[in-house]
Every structure is written in C-alpha cells, then in structure tokens.
Structure 1
Amino acid sequence: MRNWKRWLIFISTAILSLGVIYVIFNFVFLDFFVDLWWFRSLNFEAYYLSRLFYKYLVFIIVCLVFFLLFFINFWVASRYIGLSSKGYNPKDTEREKKYQKLLKMFQSGSLKIYTPLSLIMSIPIAIPFYEKWETALLYFFGSSSGIKDPAFGRDISYYFFSYPIYSFLQSKLLVIFLFLFFFLALLYFIENRLLNKDKQTLPKGPKIHLTFILFIIGLIQTWGFCLDRIALLYTDHHQPLFFGPGFIEMRLDLPMIFMAIIMFWAFFLSGIIYIYKRKGLIACLVCAAVLTVVISFRNPSFFSEAVQKYWVKPSEAEKERPFISNSIQAALDAYGINEVETRNYSIKPSSAFKVNYDLQSNLHNIPVWDRELLDDVYNQLQSIRSYYKFTNVDVDRYTVNGVYQQVYLGARELNLDDIPESAKNWNNLHLQYTHGHGVVITPASHGGDEPLTWFIRDIPERSDYGFTLTQPGIYYGPEDYEYVIVPNDQGEIDHNKEDVEVMVNYDGTGGIHLSSMLKKILFSVYFKDKNIFFTSETNSKSRILFRRNITKAINRITPFFILDDDPYIVVEDKGLYWIQDAYTISENYPNAQKYDKAKFGTNIKSDEFNYIRNSVKIVVNAYNGDISYYVADPKDPFICAYKRIYPGLLKDMDEMPSNLKKHVRYPKLLFTIQMNVYTKYHQTNPDVFYREEDTWKFAKANNRSMEPYYLTLNMINPQSHEFLTVLPMSPVGRDNLRALTIAGCDKDNYGKILVYNFPKGQQIYGPSQINALVHQDTEIAQELTLWDQAGSEVIFGRTIILPVENNILYIQPVYLRSASRLKIPELKRIIVSQGEVVVMEASLETALAKLEHQLKERSERIKNRLSGPQSNQETDKQ
C-alpha cells in the first residue's frame, strides 16, 4: 500500500514538474531559441544577440546608477539618524520607542536595509529607461549631420538624438530627486523631533545633505527651462501660415525663459538663506511672485495675445519674415528637397510640332498600359494554375535585345485561396504547395488591337528576347505564406508538363534544418501543430521555412526602419530578387512643418513626422530568403548611427551586385511626400510664401489627383534617356498645368530632383482639361458609344504627360472590358493631344502622325483665314 502511494506521489510530482518546465520553456525560452535559429539562418546571429545585449545592458546600467544614487544618499543619512537612540527612556511612549527602534535599524543596517531598498526603488525607475533603450543608443552613437538650425545654431543631430533623451531624463530625474528629497526630509524630520525631546539639535550634516539635494533639483529645473527654449522650435501656433517659432516666441517667450531662470535662482537662493538665517523672507516672496508672473506670461495669455493682435498682426508679413524664411529652409532640408533644380520650359507654337527622331526612338518606352488593368490580364492569361496568382505589377527597365526598354513585370506567387476546400489539408499546405513560380514581362508600350507581347511567359519559362531564369522558385515574397517543410519525401508541386505533374525538391539554404527530434518537438510546440512531429515525410535534408512574408521578416529584423508599401521583383539570370525601400523618419526636425497625413494621406506607419530619408535598399532572395541591407543615403545621421550601433548589418551601396543596382529606383512614396511639401514650400521668398500666390497641387485627371509614374525620358541629360519618376503640378484653384516635377532613378542622377516650370502667362492644358476635350470630340464620342452598346465596358486609362521638344503631349489609352465572366481588359485605342487637337488611333505611331498632320492643316487654315481679307482689299485697290 505504501509503495503504491509512493509511486503515485512520484508520478504526480514528475508530471507536475514536467508541466512547470514546459510552461517555463514555452513562455520564456522557446521564442528565444526559434528567433536565434532563424536569425542564424540569415547570418544575423551576432546582430540578434547584440540587440538583446544592448537592451539589457541599458537596463542594468540604469539600475546600477539609480541604485548607487539611492544607496549613497541613504548611507549618508544613516550617519546622522538615530543619534538620540542611546537606550529606551521609560517615559517614552510606545510610538516613540518604535521610532527609535526603526531609526536604529536604519543607522546600523546600511547593507541589510539600504541594499534591497535601493534595488527595489531603482528597478521600477529603470523600466521606462529600458523601454527607451534604442533612443539611448542613438544618443551615444549619433554623430554630427553638418546642418545647423537657424534659431540656435545647433547641429540637427542634437534635435534627433540628444533632445529626446534629455527631455525624457529631465522629467524623470526631477521626479526622482523630489521623491528622494522628501524621503530624506521625512527621516530627518523624525530624527529632529527625537533630538528636540532630548534637548539636542540636528547636526549641520543633514542640513547640508538636504541643501545639496535641493541644489541638484534646482539644476534639473534649470535644465528644464533650457529645454523649454528648444521646445519653442516645435510650436504650431502660427499654423496654417508657417510652422515653428515666430515673433512672439523668439522676441517675447525666449526672453521670458531667461528671466524665469534668473528669478528661479533668485527665489531658490533667497529661500535657502531664509531657511538657514531666518532672513530675507520678503525678498524670497518677491522673487516667487515675479517668477509666477514671468511663467504666466510665457503661456498663451492676455499679454501674448495682445502683443500678437496689436503689434504683430498689423504688419505681420514684415515682423514674421525672418521666421517664415527659417521655416521654409527647415522644411526643404527636412524632406530632402533643398537641392531641387528648377528649369524653365518654354512652349513652341503648336504648328511647330514634329515627330522627330528622339520621339520616334523612345516610343517603345511610353507606358500605355495601366498597372491595375494589367494585373487582371496577367491573372487571366498567365496564372496557369489555380494555386498561382499575380498580386502586383511592377514597373522597371531592362535591356531587351540590346535596347534599353521600360517594361511591366509580375511575379507568379503562391496563392491557395482558389484551390478546393477539400484540398486544403496539412500535407498540401505544408509539404506540396510550397512556392510560386517565375515571372512574366511585357513591354510598357503597346498598340491597340494587337496581341500582347511577352518577353517572358508560361511555365516553364519561355522567352524569345534573350531572358533566361535558372531558378524560378519563389519561396519568399510580399504575401502571407504558411510555413513549409522542404524538401520532403512527397515532393513539391511545381508545374505540368505534357499532362504530368512535375515535382521538385528545394535545394536552397533558407529556413532551419529539421533533422533532429528535438527541433521537431520545439517547432510543433511553437506552431501548435502536432503534425510537424508526427509526419513521416521529412528526411535528413528537410528544412522548415517560415516568416516568408518579406515585409514582416524585415520588420522583425530591423523594426526601426519604416518600409515602403511596394516591394518589387527583379529578374536576373541566377534567380529572382525582391527590392524593398526603407526609410528613417523623425518628428524632431526643428522648425520643419509636420507632414499632414490627414490632408495628403500616406502609407507611412507613423503618427507624425517631419523628416524622412530613403536611407536603405533591402534585397531579399526570393528562393533562399537571404536579406541584405545597403546604405542608399550615407549622409543620413540615423543610418550613420545604426552603422555604429550594429556593425556588419549595413553594407555600402558599392557592395550591391551591379546587376541588381541597375534596377534601383527612386520610390514613388517618397517622391509623393516630398512633392506634397514642395507644392507650398517651393515659394522660397517669404513674402510670396506669406501671400501663397503660387501654391501648387497635384494635377487632376479623371476627377482624382494624379500619382507619380515612371517614364523613360531625356529630361535630365538631353543626350541620354533615363528612367524617371514624374509628377505634374497645377496651380491651386486651377486645372491648367503649372510645372512638371521629376526625380532621376539611374546611375549618377539617382535622387536628382528637377522642376520644369511652364510660363505663368501662357495657357498649358492640364490633364482634366484634356479629358474634357476628349469627351467633347464628336468622332471619339461616337466610336466609344458604339463600343459601349456592344456589351463592353469602355475604360479610360491614366493620362500620361510627355514633354517633347518644347511641346507637351497628352497620351491616354482606351480599354475595352467584356461584360462576360472573363473580364480581360483589351487595349483598343490610344488618344493623343497637344492641347488643341485630339486624335485617337490604334497605335502611338499612327496617332502621332495624324496629330502632326492635323496640326499642319489647322495652321494652314488659320493662315489662310487671316490672309484672305487682306488679299481681297489689295484686289479692290487695284
């Protein structure tokens, strides 16, 4: 019977112990080991451990600092408290005896009492610092940017790295030292009561100790006043006119801060004198009153409002001029648009328009297809299998048969939404349907009523234009993929060949080896999936691939980068690569307007910011999942700091393989943000800015604001065509064209921003005005009406504005989409106009030729009309 009970106790204890071990391991160590293995598979193990090390190092250092702060002060206090405790007086009350016993313990038990007490007090204080550990690292590793703010002449890096941590420290330290002062004062107060009872006085030591703590509090508060000066640079009181400090802040508030510092110390010192000498009470009260008045004047009050209303407003443009100028310069610097080059673009008479050689040689680069519509075409014609899908269409440029060519391309990614529900079992989802396959590429330009040209198509890939692809497998991409175990004994479904399913086996280096029993157990627990452990389809080469969404993977590795919402695929002979743009942002650029997300909108995942740089280009191998970071903007102080914090993480741009570097492009998201700011801040003259007489907006087409688009033009260097980001501008309140903004994407001109200004006094049609002309053309309207009646939907594509030889061409594709189930868009016609004549033809070549011909005829008709009456008058005279 006893043995039975012993075994029951033993088994119960073992089960309970295993349960406790499981819970502890699952919640404490499992994530750590999985993360460690995953980072190791990407060659980022040292980086991962360094992030953990930094995090806990900051916590330990802060704990140690505050532990020593508390312990030293308590130890000093222990030298003076409990001096009256020579023994218990029979006349003492029970409460007094307890006081004496407690004070004796505090006096004699420094290590026993103060060590745990100081530690307990330091830990909760260190937690907020622990949460700000990366801010602390940026402070220690940050360096000068070389740009100074115009108000105080400090380097911009001070506002990025020092000011945030100083503001945080000042507020925390003030509370900590106030708490310390009151705790010590309480101990000394109790001691003083006991000493007074025995007709003794408190030694000078406690007074000096408390005075010293008060002096530190005074220094911390003075530091707070100094930081208030910096806070003036972030005021928004002058919105929407300009951002940052104005006349009130710099001519009224700033002197008041200096006055507050003087009066604070006058009050502080007079208060100390009164405490020690019992003299100067009136001076102390006067200083306190003056300090109160000064602080109240600094806040929005009757005084500042009166100055603004009666002194500033009557001549606001003059008094705010230097501060508006500071705000303009700060915004241009903060958003990287301080070196925009402006050029004037004169417009020739329409009669001078000719289809010259430059235009003819570049027709193959004019993107007449819309990405959104091409997405439907790719999916209908080239998905091939139900488990593949094109989720995005990218724009890029490739050399096709020796010709620099703008193209569209899409990756055929894995998507299991359309397979039958009965097929969505564990084996299919995690062993067989494992990857996407290849890409398709089509030219940017195309003719209507022509079959689509495919540079790469089908599975396996076929190309008649020199493209080869040795590794078409897409195991990593922007979509949310399930984890997979590859290679496995079942094989992975790849494609069909002569009605036979072709199976493949993964041969890459991605993921983590799943060869040991221990890893099978751990990953079964991690994914909460027992099949990982019990499956018999794995082998010695099997690897588990997870975190295959490249955006989420990058965010897990480097959460301090903000990622662009449009990673794009690059095709190379050796395989497929994703290029992901990443940004560093801040809300602490002094004097700079914060980006108005409510007005302009953006996909930047941050509440607010007023500084942005596209500092990093990230390359991800679509087959292996390898991730490489390349510094695209070495002048960015944030990226310089991260290079010092994490050595080996960021590579120089020169280390990027040349076959990938030629596909780097200027991000549309960044260009959109920059141009939204530039619409107002291109007015660098403060008086013009104040009147807002030349504020712009994004040009509108089809009743919506245009977005940046990519074109291949010779707008930077007339001798060569380059890949550019283009965005047209209109004046606020008008629809005509005011300017054309472009950003270079190729080679030495990468990131170079140019603005072509059109003549202010000349009518330059905007896209919406051209759309109106198109709909008013009777021939075009009649033909489009016939198509609509035939059961098809007419779709107008994006308007492309094309500057050509001092003329502006407007190109708009017209598509037909069937009303049947298979709604495949078909490019039917291309509309071309230069603002006065509108033509519609099946191809760009014929449309341009017709436009040139009609413009000549129009010019001759006008000439004849003008010369007709004059010739008749001459005949009558004869």
Structure 2
Amino acid sequence: MIAGLVILFFVFAGLYADVLWFNQLGFLSVLTTQWAAGAALFFVGFLAMAIPVFVSIQIAYRMRPVYAMLNSQLDRYQQVIEPLRRLAMYGIPALLGLFAGVAAATRWQVVLMWLNRTDTGTTDPQFHLDVSFYLFDLPFFQAFLGFASAVVLISAIVAIATTYLYGSIRVSGREILVSKAARVQIAVTASLYLVLQALSIWLDQYSTLTSTNDLITGAGYTDTHATIPGRAILAGIAAVVAILFLVTAIIGRWRLPVIGTALLIVTSLLLGSLYPWVVQRFQVDPSAKSLEAEYIQRNIDLTRNAYDLSGVTEVPYNATTTAEPGALRADATTTANIRILDPALVSDAFSQLEQFKQYYQFPKNLDVDRYTIDGKSQDTVVSVRDLKLSGLNAGNTWVNSTIVYTHGYGVVAAYGNQRSADGQPVFLESGIPTTGSLGTYEPRIYFGENSPTYSIVGAAADSKPVELDYPSGTDGAQQTYTTFTGNGGPKLDNAFNKLIYALKFQSEQIFLANDVNDQSQILYDRDPVTRVQKVAPYLTLDSSAYPSVVDGRVKWIVDGYTTSADYPYSTPVGLSDAITDTETPAQPFALDKINYMRNSVKATVDAYDGSVTLYAWDTTDPILKTWQKIFPSTVKPMSDMSGQLMSHVRYPADLFKVQRHILSQYHVTDPGSFYSHDDAWTTPNDPVSPSTNTTLQPPYYLTMQVPGSEKPAFTLYSTFIPDATGTTSRNVLTGYLAVDSDAGATDGVRSAEYGKLRLLTLPKANTVPGPGQVQAKFNADPTVSTQLNLLKQGQSKVLNGNLLTLPVGGGLLYVQPVYVQSTGETSYPLLQKVLVAFGDQIAFEDTLNKALDVLFGGSSGAQAGDTSVPTTGTTTPTTGGTTTPSTTTGNPATDAQLQALLAVAKQAIADKQAALTAGDFAAYGVADKKLSDTVASMLALLGQ
C-alpha cells in the first residue's frame, strides 16, 4: 500500500510539474486539452471494449444449457474455473478495456482533427471529394472501423470460449452441436463483424488514392478500372453475407452463411488479386505509356501541389562556359555578397577568438543570417556564446552548475564576405561585454541549444547577485554577477514546489539549498526546439533553430511544419532521408513518411526568458486551421510580427530539401517523359565530404540576384545533376533551384517575392561542370596542387570550405574558400586562399577579388567583399588548368637576377611555412609580404 502511494505521488509530481511549466509559459490550455482528449478517449475505449466483452460473456453464460452433457475434460475445467468465474467475468473485460483505452487515448490527434476538420476547397480527380476527406475523415473512419472490428472479434472469441466451456457448443463425434442461444449470439456477432468489414472494404476504394504502385502514388488505370470496382462489389457481397448470418440466427441453418463466406473468399481472390493482375499484365503493360498518361498527370499535379511546388517558375538558363571580360558588371551586388566564410569550418575560430573562458562554447555548425549595416543588407555568420558546464572540470559542483553558471552571454557575428589579413573572421559583433554593429540588446542566453538541464535563478543571497554574468568587471573585479529578472520558469516559492522539482530532477539540493528561496525560479526544457514542440505538439519542427537580434532581444527562430501522409495522388517522401546531408545528421520523426508539407508556423523563443510565440505563417493551410480550432488563441496572426522579426525570417532549409527531392523527379510535367524517366535528376553529393561518404551537398544561403528576379535577395539554393542510378554518374549541372528567402524589410510587410521558387534549367547541348567535376579539377590542377602542398608542409592541414555555385556572368561561377590549420591544440582554421572556377577555367588567389579579376581578365566589374591581403603569385587562367610565368628570358644578366630573386622567394616560402607551423602570424605576414614583393620584381623583369 505504501509503495503504491509512493508511486502515485511520483506520477503526480511529474504531472504537476507539467502544469506549472505550461502555466508559466501561458500554454496551459494545450496541456489540458491533450489530457482531456486523452482521458475522454481512454474512457470511451475502455467502455467500448469492456462493455461488449462483458455482455458477450454474460449472455453466453446465462444462456448456457442447465443440463449439459459435458465430457470429463470440460467438467474438470469448469471445476477449476468456477471459483474464479466472477473474477474472470469482470476481470477479463476490465483488462481488455484497459488496453483498448490506452490504444484509443493515443489517437487523440486523429479524433480532434476529425471533429474540427476544415475543407480545403480542392477536390480529388477520381471521386471528386474535398481533399479534407482524405486528410481528416478517412483516417478517423479507418481507425474507428479497426477498433470496432477488434471489439466485435474479441467479443466473438470470448463468447465462443464461454459457450464451449459451459456446453452450449458440443462436439459429438464428427458433429458440432450448437444450442439456439449460442447460435443466435454467434450469428449476430458474425453479422455485425461482416457489416464492419463491408464498410472497411468500401473505404478501401479511397485508400487507392494514397497507395503506391510501381509507377506512381495514387489510383492508376488498373486501380480505376479493376481494383476500385472490385472493392465496391466485395463490399456489397460482405453486406449480403452479413444478412445471411442474421437469417441463420432466425432459421437455425448455417448452410447459407457458410456458402456466402466461401463465395466472399473466392470473390476477394478473383476481384482483389486475379482480375487486377490480368488487367495490368495483358491490357496496361503493353500500352502503359498511353493508358497511364492521365493518372501520371494526376500524380504530377497533386504531388507538386502537396509540396507547395505548383508555383515554381522555370527559367531556361543558357549558361556560357567562357569567362568574358566585364561579364560580372551586371552581377556586382551578387559578387559583393559572396560568402567566403564557411559556417561549418569557422566554429573553431569563433571558439579561439571569442570563447574567452572554458565554460563557454559555440556549436559545430554556425548559422547564416543577415543584418542591415550602414544601410546595406549584410550576410553574416552568427552564433550565441552558450554555456559549457563540462569546462568547469573540478568546479562542476551542484551549486556552480545550477545556481552560479546559469547562462551564456552574447551574440557573435562575422561578416560573411570578409576576412582579416591573416585569414581570421572579421567580427561585426563580438566581445564581453558585447560591442559591435547590432546595437543595444539583452545579451544573456538563459535558453539555448546547449543550456544546462536545469538552473535555479532569480534569487540573490544577502541581496547580492550570485549568477555569474561574464568574466570581467569594473574596479578591478574579475567577474560581474547578475540576478535573473524575467519570468522564465516555475517559481520555487513554497516547500511543495521545491519537493516536486526535487523529485523530478532527483536532487535533494533543490529542497535543502539555502540559495533557493521564495524568489527562485527553475528553468528547464531550455532548448528552443524542445520548447516549441511541447507547446505545439502537432508541428514537425525544422532541424535547426537560429538566433537573431530582434527588438533588443536575442530570439531563436524556429520553423514549424504541418505534415500529412494522406494527401491523394501525392508521392510520399521519407522526411529523415530527404533532409540528411553533411550538415544535418539523420534524425527520427513521429511521422517520417509524408506526402504533404507546409511551413505553416514561424515560432520564436526568447533567449532571456524562454517565452514562446507562435505566428500563423501559411494562413491557407487547412491543417493549421484545424489545429487553431483545437488550440484556440495559441497561434498569433502574422500581422503581430514586428518589422525586425520579419526581416530575419528566412525560407526554411528542411522544407527546401524536401522540395528539391521532389523536383528531382517532378520538374518533369509531361506524362510521357515522366514515364520514360529520361530526364530524372538528383542532388549531387557534397564534394568536400570524405570520398566514402555519399552524403548530399546541403543548400546554402546567399544574397544574390537569381536570373528571372528583379533584384538581389537573400536566397537559398541547391543544384541538380543527372540521376544515373545504376550507371556511371555524369556530374554535370542540369538544374539550379533557388528560393527567395527575404520575408520582408523592417516595415513588417511580408514580401510578395518571399517563397518564390525559380528553377533554372540548363541546356542539354552545353556541358556545365557540376560540383563534383569542379572539385576534381581543383584537386587535379598542377599549380593548385603545388600551392596546396606548400600549405600542407610541416604540421599543417588544408581544409576545403563549402563549394558555392552562383548564376552570374551568364554562366555558373564556383567559389570555394581554402583554410589552413596547424595541428596544435589551440589552432583553428585560417582562410588563406580562394578557389574560383567558371566553365573549364580556374583561378587560385589570396582574395576573391583577385581571383575574379584573374578569371575575368582583370576588368570583370566584380567587387567582392573580402579584405585584401598580399598576394603570393598571379595565376593566369587556362582551359583545364593553370600556368605560371617562365623564369628565363635568354638575357644572361636578367636570368641571373631572376635566379637570385627565385632564391629569395624560396626562402620566403620556407619562412612562411615555419611561421604558420609556429602559429606566429605576424612573422607569417612579413614573409608573405616579402614573397609578394619578390614575385612582383620577377614579373617586372619578365615584362609581365
């Protein structure tokens, strides 16, 4: 008894903690709605199972024959069971009802969506029903019929067992004797079961629109002309057999229902399997291209609509492969914003330059955002400086990890298109306390992706702050302390709440510590994605939240999707597979196989107080409208967004990955071409990933002007190459997908161009190298290889950054930053070189500006934003490789000067490498300058 009470109190503690958490956040209605729906369905499921089973047992028992002739075996069974009969009659229905109740409670979302369903205004092309029938009605009806069938079947089983045990059914030789009461009960139960099966078979007609065959998802020719009519006939036959069982209950003869059941089985084999196979094999297969054209077109249209791709603009792009002088003048804004800072490689640089203390950290992959600096939009690489409690080492006590070290500090942001003279990021926001171009904002990060499991804040011991704010201070102080003043978590203002959380986190210190007082709050579930998921359980969330400085606060922006697997004629996608690439690892989803997706909600989480705000982003989405009925007043209208927040909203990467996956096949809108599979594409593998890794290249955010658009915009893009499954892959570009990711300026008005997808289709006659080919050329070019080998000397390694592809200059420009990192413990990658390619031409220079000038003849009109550093040589572009100038002239005096200068250059190269290995970047710069001057003198002697 005591143990049971203890268990119940632990359960209560968990539930009460949830109430406190949701109530503090202002979303208590979300929790209570789930609980109410789950509880109601539990009782419905419990009663719906327990009552029929109980009634079935009672009828079978009460209608048993009084003087039944039982065999000795059954007589012994009765003697054993009789003392437990009453317990079994109540216990078996109760136990089955418990399982049924739990199963029913888990379906609360299906039931609530059906009760609050919203019409879509779109009808399917086969049955001409509103698509809402497939999204909301059909899943509910199928779940209901499945549950009801299970109840009836179990009721029949227990009835048969009871009647047999008490002699209503007896086996005498080869004859089975059934009493009248048992016959009526079994026949009526069988009739009810067949009625349910008839309804289920009838609904299976509609399921053909979401089933996948060898060609498409949805009903094809065979389904329409054989499977669907066959299921309608089978449903009718099942209904007739149900009537025959009722007849048996009245007249007492089993022959008719037995014959009817046999007919149903045979007919199901003929109409459900054989006839569709015959139609497919002998009618469809010989003429599939023409007969399936109508259904392929349905699949194309509805798949594109389900993934919000019906508005894709196709732009023929006759890409040239020859770099012409001045070709980049029309793309000056794009080239000025080319991001040479790779957010996947500069995390170590951020850590070494901006971490300051061992208890701070930066994530492995940083985020890309944009800010208006001096009136111009600037792409930036950003991150927050979050806590790392493991860095405290021996100081990682409960007091330190819970009460003292409670929050990270500040946003660190670097220009995406700049680097310092020695290859470091150029920060526009940095330092502790924070300084820079982002203005004044609340820098404390109490809610982040790496925040501690829980912290206790808000209490000041003896009126003195105890929470470490940042590791510097005034008047000689080494630290500055603060006290949390927001409303970020449940209050620990009474002994009961302290006890609840001591049990939840299994820490008696929460209850006993003197530093926990009436002003204390406990912060937990601090990851932004976790917080949004709890208050909006119906959303599938993007794999990456990103921080932005908005209205004087650091806000985490999280994209939320409504998804479904029940959209008619839409091809399903494995969500985890579609979004996995070199930057996003595979992850599980509650609903992984989907065939409908909308970015319906934009959510924010305040990094200081953890407040969550949901904004309705796609107001036309019927699934979101349905959930707004279920959880009213939890989602705010988009008009409530501030202008600054709107300016930082971007098109979500996970949705874009799913869309590019679909467009790899469904860019083809002609049924004949789709059937022939003659123009299928795929996303290229990331060329900078290990050769054994076939992970896809991620999409990249860049500010650029895509052909077909009127002005430059913050854009997310990806490329396509031919799908050569099972054959040798041709890594040439076939398509370029870009989406406008600028939601709007600071005026708060959503841009009409936001979400506009443009698909550049490249001509098949011209071969435009794909990312794999370009990377291979970079690696194979002799001059590039020589310079890379020089950079690799000693204990240094060369890291290739993200390979960017930009539609500029009438063709496709590739840009790749090259980083050098020594192997020391405190080393970090330094951006030293930039590789660029256009067609078959390559340039490898110290800066992007110089590389573009070399590639486009020195008068390209490009004005890239990277900071100039001394060059180490000039590369002349050639087809298929690079060349260096000759070191002989035929004049002995000049040749002698060249040889002397060459010796100086070699020594300068050695000095550079020694300085790089030692991490002495001042000496590195001196040697680099000496090498540059020497090469310039050599070129002057050569007349170049």
Note whether the superposition's TM-score is higher than 0.5: yes
The answer on 1:724 being equivalent to 2:697 is no
| RMSD, aligned CA | 3.8
- Change in CA separation of 1:648 and 1:859 when aligned onto 2, cut-off 3 Å: closer
- Secondary structure of 2:755's aligned partner: coil
Task: Answer whether contact 2:56 2:156 (CA < 8 A) is retained.
Answer: no
Q: Give the counterpart of 2:700 among 709, 714, 724.
A: 709
Q: How does 1:427-826 map to 2 (within 5 A)?
A: 427-447=399-419, 449-450=421-422, 452-463=425-436, 465=437, 467-487=438-458, 488-489=460-461, 491-495=466-470, 496-497=472-473, 498=476, 500-596=478-574, 600=578, 602=580, 603=586, 605-606=588-589, 607-700=592-685, 701-702=687-688, 705-715=696-706, 718-732=709-723, 733-746=729-742, 747-826=751-830
Shift of 1:191: 11
The answer on 1:222 being equivalent to 2:226 is no
Deviations 1:302-337 (A, max 9, x none): x65454334332222223322322332332223222
Task: Answer whether contact 1:583 1:614 (CA < 8 A) is retained.
Answer: yes
- Change in CA separation of 1:716 and 1:143 when aligned onto 2, cut-off 3 Å: farther
Deviations 1:768-822 (A, max 9, x none): 2222333444433332222222542222222111112423211111221123333
Q: Which residue of 2 aligns with 1:309?
A: 281
Q: Which residue of 1 aligns with 2:30?
A: 47
The answer on 1:394 being equivalent to 2:367 is yes
Task: Answer whether contact 2:183 2:249 (CA < 8 A) is retained.
Answer: no
The one-letter amino acid of 2:455's match is: V
Q: How does 1:270-309 map to 2 (within 5 A)?
A: 270=244, 272-273=246-247, 276=250, 287-300=260-273, 304-309=276-281
TM-score (norm 2): 0.78
Aligned-partner Cα distance in 1 for 2:495–2:154: 55
Task: Answer whether contact 1:578 1:619 (CA < 8 A) is retained.
Answer: yes
Aligned-partner Cα distance in 1 for 2:396–2:163: 74
- Change in CA separation of 1:492 and 1:448 when aligned onto 2, cut-off 3 Å: closer
The one-letter amino acid of 1:803's match is: P
Shift of 1:485: 1.6
Shift of 1:472: 0.6
Q: Which residue of 2 aligns with 1:24?
A: 8
Aligned-partner Cα distance in 2 for 1:456–1:533: 41
- Change in CA separation of 1:181 and 1:290 when aligned onto 2, cut-off 3 Å: closer
Aligned-partner Cα distance in 2 for 1:462–1:726: 32
The answer on 1:331 being equivalent to 2:310 is no
- Change in CA separation of 1:858 and 1:758 when aligned onto 2, cut-off 3 Å: farther
The answer on 1:253 being equivalent to 2:227 is yes
Aligned-partner Cα distance in 1 for 2:321–2:504: 71
- Change in CA separation of 1:58 and 1:193 when aligned onto 2, cut-off 3 Å: closer
Shift of 1:300: 4.6
The answer on 1:839 being equivalent to 2:843 is yes
Shift of 1:359: 2.8
Aligned-partner Cα distance in 2 for 1:274–1:621: 69
Task: Answer whether contact 1:729 1:739 (CA < 8 A) is retained.
Answer: yes
Paired positions, count: 813
Aligned-partner Cα distance in 2 for 1:669–1:403: 28
Q: Give the counterpart of 1:134 among 98, 109, 112.
A: 109
Higher mean C-alpha deviation, range 228-237 or range 837-846: 228-237
Q: Which residue of 2 aligns with 1:867?
A: none
The one-letter amino acid of 2:682's match is: K
Task: Answer whether contact 1:328 1:684 (CA < 8 A) is retained.
Answer: yes
- Change in CA separation of 1:284 and 1:501 when aligned onto 2, cut-off 3 Å: closer
Aligned-partner Cα distance in 2 for 1:271–1:34: 54
TM-score (norm 1): 0.84
Shift of 1:600: 4.8
Higher mean C-alpha deviation, range 583-592 or range 62-71: 62-71
Q: How does 1:186-265 map to 2 (within 5 A)?
A: 215-238=191-214, 241-265=215-239
The one-letter amino acid of 1:255's match is: P
Task: Answer whether contact 2:216 2:299 (CA < 8 A) is retained.
Answer: yes
- Secondary structure of 1:233's aligned partner: coil
Task: Answer whether contact 1:585 1:610 (CA < 8 A) is retained.
Answer: yes
- Change in CA separation of 1:273 and 1:443 when aligned onto 2, cut-off 3 Å: same
Aligned-partner Cα distance in 2 for 1:803–1:387: 43
Aligned-partner Cα distance in 2 for 1:776–1:572: 46
The answer on 1:169 being equivalent to 2:165 is no
- Secondary structure of 1:384's aligned partner: coil
Shift of 1:622: 0.5
Shift of 1:165: 2.2
Deviations 1:661-694 (A, max 9, x none): 2111111121111111210121121211111111
Aligned-partner Cα distance in 2 for 1:782–1:73: 86
The one-letter amino acid of 2:716's match is: T
The one-letter amino acid of 2:13's match is: L
- Change in CA separation of 1:62 and 1:502 when aligned onto 2, cut-off 3 Å: same
Task: Answer whether contact 1:481 1:549 (CA < 8 A) is retained.
Answer: no
Task: Answer whether contact 1:795 1:815 (CA < 8 A) is retained.
Answer: yes
- Secondary structure of 1:554's aligned partner: helix
What 5-or-longer segments of structure 2 have no aligned partner? 69-73, 171-177, 581-585, 724-728, 743-750, 861-874, 880-944
Aligned-partner Cα distance in 2 for 1:821–1:81: 85
Aligned-partner Cα distance in 2 for 1:435–1:34: 22
Higher mean C-alpha deviation, range 313-322 or range 598-607: 598-607
Deviations 1:207-255 (A, max 9, x none): 98887655543421210111222333343441xx333333333322222
Q: How does 1:413-428 map to 2 (within 5 A)?
A: 413-420=386-393, 422-428=394-400
- Change in CA separation of 1:179 and 1:844 when aligned onto 2, cut-off 3 Å: closer
The one-letter amino acid of 2:734's match is: R
Task: Answer whether contact 2:152 2:189 (CA < 8 A) is retained.
Answer: yes
Shift of 1:368: 0.8
- Secondary structure of 1:699's aligned partner: coil
- Change in CA separation of 1:222 and 1:576 when aligned onto 2, cut-off 3 Å: same
- Secondary structure of 1:229's aligned partner: helix
Aligned-partner Cα distance in 2 for 1:778–1:159: 60
The one-letter amino acid of 1:740's match is: Y
Shift of 1:206: 10
Q: Give the counterpart of 2:356 among 368, 384, 407.
A: 384
Higher mean C-alpha deviation, range 65-74 or range 601-610: 65-74
**Higher share in helix:** 1
Shift of 1:717: 6.5
The one-letter amino acid of 1:407's match is: T
Higher mean C-alpha deviation, range 615-624 or range 535-544: 535-544
Aligned-partner Cα distance in 2 for 1:296–1:159: 27
- Secondary structure of 1:445's aligned partner: strand
Deviations 1:12-57 (A, max 9, x none): xxxx96x76544322x321122111111111122332222122212
Aligned-partner Cα distance in 1 for 2:576–2:8: 45
- Secondary structure of 1:828's aligned partner: strand
- Secondary structure of 1:578's aligned partner: strand
